[in-house]
Amino acid sequence: MANILTVDDAWLSRTMIGKILKTAEHEIVEADNGLNALQKLESYTPDCIILDLLMPEMDGFGFLEKMQEKNIDIPVIVLSADIQDSTRTKALGLGAARMLNKPPKLNELISAVHELTN
């Protein structure tokens, strides 16, 4: 079991991701944007972060940049509907460990979390 922070502005996406991860008995904490996620990281250290890119207040790229600035070393899986190579390259260049397409496939997401938390 891993502790996972899911960061997505869409309630439905957070709910779907949470249901998938709970089938593998992971514990979930949610944030609705990058700024709120950074605030949660002040008192909570997850084993992995599931991150959307397009969000208000602070998007996923801004969140990844702040993680680098603060030397926060937690594996990040980016979930995005954006399939452009430039987006993938930017996210991975900012430290994301994986990039998966939305909506996530159950086995693909669970497998990525398992690989990064074990």
> Nearest-CA neighbor of 78 among 66, 68, 63?
63
**The pLDDT value given to residue 82:** 87
Domain ranges of the chain: 3-117
CA distance 19 to 68: 29
**The pLDDT value given to residue 55:** 93
CB neighbour list of residue 80: distance below 8 Å, 6 or more residues apart:
52, 53, 54, 60, 87, 91, 99, 100, 101, 102
Please tell me the CATH code under which domain 3-117 is placed. Answer: 3.40.50.2300
Condensed to tens digits (0 to 9), the pLDDT of residues 72-108 reads 999 999 999 888 899 999 999 999 999 999 988 999 9
Q: Where are the alpha helices (DSSP H) in the chain?
A: 11-23, 34-41, 60-69, 85-93, 106-117
**The pLDDT value given to residue 59:** 95
Token pair for residue 53? Answer: 């890119």
CA distance 4 to 24: 12
φ and ψ of 102, to 5 deg: -90, 145
What average pLDDT does the segment 47-70 reach?
96
Where do we find the tokens 């996923």?
60
Token pair for residue 99? Answer: 């990039």
